Amino acid sequence: MSITPLMPVYPRCGFRPVRGEHCHLIGEDGQRYLDFAAGIAVNLLGHSHKGLIGAIQKQAETLMHVSNLYGSPQGEHLAQRLVDLTFADTVFFTNSGAEAVECAIKTVRAYHSHAGNDHKFEIITFKNAFHGRTMATISASNQEKMHKGFLPLLQGFKYVDFDDLAGAKAAIGPNTAGFLVEPVQGEGGIRPASDEFMQGLRALADEHDLLLALDEVQCGVARSGTLYAYEQYGITPDVVATAKGLGGGFPIGACLATEQAARGMVIGTHGSTYGGNPLAIAAAEAVLDAVANDEFLTQVRTTSERLRSRLEQFIGNYPDMFELVRGKGLMLGMKMKFETRGFVAHLRDNHHLLTVAAGDNTLRLVPPLVIGDAEIDEFLDKLSAGAASFQPPEPVQ
Ligand SMILES: *Cc1c(COP(=O)(O)O)cnc(C)c1O
């Protein structure tokens, strides 16, 4: 037998973390790594956060899981809190981002089906998007590398260039049901949509009775500098998928919707055994306790500005390596002039700095939202040392 016990779908590296302390991870060999990856934008409060640990411990001792067949005081409380904090009137809890997007896709289709318009099933999505790895969510993305070996795809998605409002308008037809878009593309390269694009999609949706569904799985929950990124665009979405940071490391996602948008999601149309179990809810409550206030969000924005201006300054020293800095809040990308993965490995293995590669040759920085000056200084030190010692790959002829 040569297959590994862990199904070999990830190219796992030699770093094997066993413990976390605030913004650092400690490996099996006792070495400390600065964590600007945060489990891919998940550990908002860093590692070993006392409030989060306490909430999970307390709930684990009380009640971990019951069925969604019963009433849920825990779920109702968190749902009401999300409703109060956002555009939404109603919430469906999931265990992951892909499931939250899946619920968003079903909500969009059911909205039209409910009105007798079963032919309106097609969702316009955007090139280089990432919506997850289930069959529906890979079908929602145009990225062929995720499709290969899994055909046929789910029908009913039309791909248009990201940030191309004219293209989105031209793609609307008699079967169109809505748009699904990341306000800030994450895996695609930390690319924020423009205000005109997001506001334009809202206007098109209103004009044609389409739903505007946002995938805020990566950019949501304070990551962008506001609780949800849509707030910065001055628009009200119909549906939002959220996950990653929501549990601060404990798996939980949610599909948020307005009452009107959710009109098709009636009894029997959707479900989840684990979704919204009391343990996951307790984790999300603890995360919101920490992040859903003006003080914390202001702090994320000022930290972002400090980090970003240091990065802008830094790339001036390495014009052969870095092209630009982009992103929102503490979701920042440094676009590089070559494939990024070699540099990510170099930073990790030789400088004990964890980052993540993203599309479009982007070095992705999604640190815990609780980084301060000490972590920014340490980050810049490691990044400088890493850039100075890196041998860029030979340009492809
Ligand atoms: C990570 C991600 C997903 C998928 O989330 P999973 O929890 O891995 O299923 C979906 N959309 C976006 C934008 C993401 O970044």
Provide the residue-wise pLDDT of the chain in tens; the chain has 397 residues.
899 999 999 999 999 999 999 999 999 999 999 999 999 999 999 999 999 999 999 999 999 999 999 999 999 999 999 999 999 999 999 999 999 999 999 999 999 999 999 999 999 999 999 999 999 999 999 999 999 999 999 999 999 999 999 999 999 999 999 999 999 999 999 999 999 999 999 999 999 999 999 999 999 999 999 999 999 999 999 999 999 999 999 999 999 999 999 999 999 999 999 999 999 999 999 999 999 999 999 999 999 999 999 999 999 999 999 999 999 999 999 999 999 999 999 999 999 999 999 999 999 999 999 999 999 999 999 999 999 999 988 765 5
Q: Whose CA is nearest to atom 11 of ligand 1?
A: 131
**Cα–Cα distance between 172 and 239 in angstroms, integer?**
19
99 and 29 within one domain? no
Structure tokens, 306: 């400090």
Q: Ligand 1: distance of its center to the CA of 29 in Å?
A: 31
**3-state SS assignment for residue 128:** coil
- For residues 130 and 256, membership in a common domain is answered with yes
Torsional sign, CA 111, 113, 117, 123 = positive
Which two three-digit tokens encode residue 108?
A: 């969009």
Asked if 285 and 299 sit in the same domain, the reply is no
| Ligand 1 nearest-atom number relative to CA 251 | 7
| Domain limit, last residue, from 259, 291, 323 | 291
Domain that holds residue 324: 17-49+294-389
Task: Compute the distance from residue 174 Cα to the ligand 1 centre, in Å.
Answer: 29
Q: What is the CATH number of the domain that holds 377?
A: 3.90.1150.10
Closest ligand 1 atom number to CA of residue 99:
9
Tokens of 3: 């297959």
The angle at the Cα of 232, spanning 228 to 326, to the nearest 5 degrees, equals: 95
C-alpha distance from residue 182 to each of 64, 98, 188, 201, 271 (Å): 32, 13, 10, 12, 24
CA distance 19 to 221: 24
Best residue among 9, 93, 131, 356 to mutate for probing ligand 1, ranked by most atoms within 8 Å of CB? 131
- Are 197 and 59 in a shared domain? yes
The number of distinct structural domains making up the chain is 2
Residue after which a domain boundary falls, among 291, 315, 345: 291
Q: Is residue 94 domain-shared with residue 148, that is, in the same domain?
A: yes
386 lines ligand 1 (CB under 6 A): no
